[in-house]
Amino acid sequence: MRKLSNEELGRLSVEEFKSEMKTPIAVVLDNVRSMNNVGSAFRTADAFLIEKLYLCGITGTPPHRDIQKTAIGAQESVAWEHCTTTLDAIKELKERDWEIISVEQADESVMLNDFHPEEGKKYAFVFGNEVFGVDEEVVQSSDAVLEIPQFGTKHSLNISVSMGVVLWEVFSKMKLT
């Protein structure tokens, strides 16, 4: 057994990525303060061919050194836009028939393992601030709330970890089953 070289991985070029059929998923960052988490969002969005990344409120935008450091160039391949507020992004997405799903702990949340995406639907997953999570108004404006089951002593995962877990689970159910 040996590790594959970068050349053997057969990755898309930025131009090929931009013309590739995207996964019907958008990621909405609700006032994410860490530029490293924003960079991770770009990199994760690139990995799963996510349609678009919405950077809302105080969430940083490219170009920024810390975003570049973590994104390692994915900010060039992934489509993104900045919205003044997360509610603005949600309104725009709802007008285009996207299902809005906040990733949060809530009284009526659906556990990630119980979530089954419907064929033909487009999903926008909202990930919140590192300290406060998804804003309450945003949760209330969502069509559903998704929760990652956790069994330890901590109440949450880092946003970049949450994105990876949720996007992999949904992507695998959409594309690999």
CATH number, domain with residue 53: 3.40.1280.10
164 inside domain: yes
Measured CA to CA, the distance from residue 33 to residue 10 in angstroms comes to 34
73 inside domain: yes
111 inside domain: yes
Given 3-state DSSP classes, what are the helix, strand and coil percentages for the chain, each rounded to the nearest 5?
Answer: 40, 20, 40
11 inside domain: no
Q: Give me the helices (H) in 4-129, please.
A: 14-19, 35-47, 65-71, 74-77, 86-95
**Cβ atoms of residues 79 and 108 within 8 Å:** no
pTM: 0.96
Q: What is the pLDDT along the chain (177 residues), one digit of tens a residue?
A: 999 998 899 899 999 999 999 999 999 999 999 999 999 999 999 999 999 999 999 999 999 999 999 999 999 999 999 999 999 999 999 999 999 999 999 999 999 999 999 999 999 999 999 999 999 999 999 999 999 999 999 989 999 999 999 999 999 999 876
- According to DSSP, residue 84 is labeled S
85 inside domain: yes
119 inside domain: yes
Two tokens at 126? 């909202």
- Burial of 124 (C-beta count, 10 Å sphere; 0-12/13-18/19+): buried
The whole domain housing 130 covers 20-148+157-175
